[in-house]
């Protein structure tokens, strides 16, 4: 008859050993990304500029005292 502690130990140990025995699947490395061509297609954005301006204005109305308000003002001015 097996002691409970030994049974628990085997229950935990056997899956760990099985996982270690499985060969590691090697994927690409960061260096292999140099061979990947970047996706540089232009994507149309409907009303992108108008929506961005309105979003910044909405943010400034809702949170004028936010620590992000100066950054929102700068970005709004850039648009």
72 in a structural domain: yes
pLDDT at 1 exceeding the cut of 60: no
26 in a structural domain: no
57 in a structural domain: yes
d(CA 11, CA 41): 53
67 in a structural domain: yes
* Residue range(s) defining the domain that contains residue 70: 49-79
24 in a structural domain: no
16 in a structural domain: no
- The Cβ of residue 74 has, within 10 Å, a number of other Cβ atoms equal to 10
pLDDT at 58: 94
pLDDT at 2: 60
pLDDT at 42: 87
pLDDT digits (tens, 9 = 90+) for 20-78: 877 777 777 888 888 888 889 988 878 888 889 999 999 999 998 999 999 999 999 99
**pTM of the complete model:** 0.45
66 in a structural domain: yes
Structurally, the chain folds into a number of domains equal to 1
With cut-offs at 50, 70 and 90, classify the pLDDT of residue 14: confident
CB 45 within 8 A of CB 64: no
């Amino acid at each position: 008859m097996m002691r409970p502690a030994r049974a628990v130990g085997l229950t935990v140990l056997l899956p760990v050993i099985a996982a270690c025995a499985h060969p590691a699947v090697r994927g690409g490395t960061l260096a292999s990304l140099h061979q990947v061509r970047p996706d540089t297609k232009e994507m149309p954005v409907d009303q992108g500029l108008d929506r961005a301006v309105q979003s910044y204005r909405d943010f400034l109305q809702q949170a004028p005292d936010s620590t992000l308000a100066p950054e929102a003002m700068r970005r709004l001015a850039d648009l």
